[in-house]
């Protein structure tokens, strides 16, 4: 998304005369987070933000930012995308800003075949490992491969729950268990006893 307002001097421009693109962006972010909390079963992230002119003493006249909205519930995902557009338009109008919306990706929720999820869970339990079914909020290869072949995902614990971060670490035992489950699933699908 892009918001365009008017860059102006930070010290001499009264608040009621500003067309502050950053204020509009911050309000979009806050309103989206409030909307997601009310709706539930979704997440929303503004992960990338650029502003211009990016100077200490100048009101930002332009922002370029991303909104990443996710839900594994089809209805909430569809309604949430509408919320994003509605909130952005209302906020831009309220702050006298022009708005440009570019949808880069529209990755709908994926629902794995139940027998594949059952397979992963059964193979883990057969080995004596504890299991927990949970939806993945991350977009992995399985999200795209499921249109070609049945897929499921195997997650292992990350130390302190850190994921998709250079500090992500997992215990060697948990890594080995994940590989064992993957091997068992592959052998079962291939019709080979594991």
CA dist 142 and 85 (Å) reads: 28
Tokens of 29: 């972010």
Over the chain, what is the mean pLDDT? 94
Helix (H, G, I), strand (E, B) or coil at 27: helix
| Number of Cβ atoms within 10 Å of the Cβ of 26 | 15
In the chain, CATH 1.10.150 sits at: 114-189
Tokens of 158: 């990350």
Class of domain 114-189: mainly alpha
Q: What is the pLDDT of residue 151?
A: 92
Percent with pLDDT over 70 in the chain? 99
Tokens of 78: 């569809």
Band (pLDDT 50/70/90 cuts) for residue 79 is: very high
Q: What letter does residue 44 receive in the DSSP assignment?
A: E
Q: What letter does residue 53 receive in the DSSP assignment?
A: S
Cβ–Cβ < 8 Å for 142, 112: yes
CATH number of the structural domain 2-100: 3.30.70.360
| Ranges 4-18, 49-63, 130-144, 159-173: which has the least confidence | 130-144
In the chain, CATH 3.30.70.360 sits at: 2-100
Band (pLDDT 50/70/90 cuts) for residue 164 is: confident
Rounded to 5 degrees, φ, ψ at 109 are -60, 145
DSSP β-bridge partners for residue 98: 4
CA dist 145 and 190 (Å) reads: 18
Band (pLDDT 50/70/90 cuts) for residue 24 is: very high
């Amino acid at each position: 998304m892009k918001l365009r307002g008017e860059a102006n001097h930070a010290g001499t421009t009264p608040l009621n005369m500003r067309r502050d693109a950053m204020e509009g962006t911050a309000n979009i972010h806050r309103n989206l987070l409030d909307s997601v909390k009310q709706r539930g079963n979704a997440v929303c992230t503004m992960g990338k933000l650029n502003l211009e002119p990016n100077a200490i003493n100048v009101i930002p006249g332009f922002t370029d930012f991303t909104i990443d909205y996710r839900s594994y519930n089809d209805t909430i995902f569809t309604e949430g995308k509408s919320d994003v557009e509605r909130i952005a338009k209302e906020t831009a109008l309220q702050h006298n800003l022009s708005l440009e919306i570019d949808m880069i990706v529209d990755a709908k929720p994926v629902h794995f075949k139940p027998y594949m999820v059952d397979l992963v869970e059964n193979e883990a339990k057969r080995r004596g490992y504890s299991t927990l079914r949970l939806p993945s909020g991350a977009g992995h290869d399985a999200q795209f491969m499921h249109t070609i072949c049945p897929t499921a995902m195997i997650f292992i614990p990350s130390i302190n729950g850190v994921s998709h971060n250079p500090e992500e670490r997992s215990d060697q035992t948990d890594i080995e268990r994940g590989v064992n489950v993957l091997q068992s699933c592959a052998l079962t699908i291939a019709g080979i006893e594991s």
